[in-house]
């Protein structure tokens, strides 16, 4: 058994949620991917994957081994890169595209810091215009696309950068006037401030995740920064990125009511044998930047 190939197959299954999707990433047939994972299970003597007619998911052992496999594969890639790019400087143009809400928050800060660290790289950052097709950014001349949507396409490679927690917040003044919702169901009586096309909030409760379907938006916008400004001014309740809201919470301008379902920040670039050094350098830097600058978790006031 080719252990590394089996590890790559398992990681691909974890990332795509299916053997068919994993097969595109490792450039093999779904049956080959299934054999790779089954061989790994026989070697380890534990089940790594739960298989049903409709879905594929990791077992507890599978999640642990997948995390280990990622570390091994990343270490191999870093070591090989250090050998092949020894004494090679970074230069050239690096074109990046991402949704406006990501770029206007701290992803923009991270990319700006990368540009300061590597002034020899000519960075071009475009906000908005991200299309549904996974590889459309390549057709538009971009090297890297950042997003929070799951993508499965053989034309691109995906790298998970960070988790983006969300929190449901309101100002102390709003809560004094309208009361504090104790359950998700009580949100029906409150003014909801929503991001465009956001029809449902998934919120964490002691009983697990619960959905609040927004019947009427009291204030709508395509900017989380604008939502936060409206929430601070007492207009209503808003679901906000924690990385944006935590300063207002710590300053007492907002209070956390519920934890929201987090999203994953991904970077996508062209598939191929060799990834340009400036692209790898950007992804490594942004991954470290988000890890090093992660805000402290904020719990709803009065909890635990």
List, for residues 198-231, the tens digit of each pLDDT value: 889 999 888 888 889 987 889 999 888 999 999 9
For residue 1, pLDDT over 80 is answered with: no
Q: Looking at the domain covering 92-163+264-292, what would its CATH class be?
A: alpha beta
Whether residue 178 contacts residue 190, with contact meaning beta carbons closer than 8 Å, is answered with yes
Structure tokens, 285: 């830097």
List, for residues 16-50, the tens digit of each pLDDT value: 888 888 888 888 888 898 899 999 999 999 999 98
Q: How confident is the model at residue 297 (pLDDT cuts 50, 70, 90)?
A: low
Model pLDDT, residue 208: 84
- For 4, what's the count of Cα atoms within 13 Å in the CB-facing half-sphere? 6
Model pLDDT, residue 201: 92
User: Pairing state of beta strands 144-147 and 255-270?
Assistant: antiparallel
Most confident region among 94-98, 169-173, 212-216, 279-283 by mean pLDDT:
169-173
Q: How confident is the model at residue 111 (pLDDT cuts 50, 70, 90)?
A: very high
**Bridge partners of residue 211, in order along the sequence:** 202
Buried/exposed 3-20: b ≥16 CB within 10 Å, e otherwise: eebbbbbbbbbbbbebbe
For residue 173, pLDDT over 50 is answered with: yes
Which one is predicted more confidently, 108 or 52?
108
Residues forming CATH 3.40.190.10 domain(s) in the chain: 92-163+264-292
Which run of H or E residues covers position 209?
strand 208-213
User: CA-to-CA distance for 237 and 172, rounded, in angstroms?
Assistant: 11
Residues forming CATH 1.10.10.10 domain(s) in the chain: 3-84
Residues forming CATH 3.40.190.290 domain(s) in the chain: 165-262
Q: What is the pTM of this model?
A: 0.64
List, for residues 7-17, the tens digit of each pLDDT value: 999 998 888 88
Q: What is the mean pLDDT of the chain?
A: 86
Q: How confident is the model at residue 153 (pLDDT cuts 50, 70, 90)?
A: low
Structural fold of domain 3-84: Arc Repressor Mutant, subunit A (1.10.10)
Model pLDDT, residue 263: 87
Question: Nearest to residue 253, comparing CAs of 179, 169, 171, 193?
Answer: 171
Model pLDDT, residue 304: 39
Q: How confident is the model at residue 86 (pLDDT cuts 50, 70, 90)?
A: very low
Structural fold of domain 165-262: D-Maltodextrin-Binding Protein; domain 2 (3.40.190)
């Amino acid at each position: 058994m080719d252990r590394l190939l089996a590890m790559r197959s398992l990681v691909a299954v974890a990332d795509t949620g299916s053997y068919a999707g994993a097969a595109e990433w490792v450039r093999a047939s779904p049956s080959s991917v299934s054999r790779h994972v089954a061989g790994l299970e026989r070697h380890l003597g534990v089940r790594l994957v739960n298989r049903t007619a409709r879905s594929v998911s990791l077992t507890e052992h599978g999640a642990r081994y997948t995390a280990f496999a990622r570390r091994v594969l990343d270490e191999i890639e870093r070591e090989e890169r250090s050998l092949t790019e020894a004494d090679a400087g970074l230069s050239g143009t690096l074109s990046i595209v991402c949704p406006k809400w990501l770029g206007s928050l701290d992803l923009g800060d991270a990319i700006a810091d990368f540009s300061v660290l590597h002034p020899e790289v000519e960075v071009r950052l475009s906000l908005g215009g991200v299309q549904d097709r996974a590889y459309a950014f390549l057709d538009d001349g971009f090297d890297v696309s950042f997003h929070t949507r799951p993508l499965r396409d053989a034309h691109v490679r995906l790298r998970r950068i960070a988790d983006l927690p969300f929190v449901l917040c309101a100002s102390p003044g709003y809560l004094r006037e309208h009361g504090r919702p104790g359950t998700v169901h009580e949100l029906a009586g409150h003014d909801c401030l929503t991001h465009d096309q956001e029809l449902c909030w998934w919120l964490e409760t002691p009983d697990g995740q619960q959905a609040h379907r927004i019947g009427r938006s009291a204030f709508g916008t395509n900017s989380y920064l604008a939502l936060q400004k409206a929430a601070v001014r007492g207009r209503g309740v808003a679901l906000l990125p924690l990385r944006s809201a935590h300063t207002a919470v710590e300053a007492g301008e907002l209070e956390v009511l519920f934890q929201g379902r987090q999203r994953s920040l991904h970077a996508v670039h062209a598939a191929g044998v060799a990834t340009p050094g400036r692209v790898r350098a950007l992804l490594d830097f942004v991954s470290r930047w988000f890890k090093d600058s992660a805000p402290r978790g904020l719990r709803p006031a009065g909890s635990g």
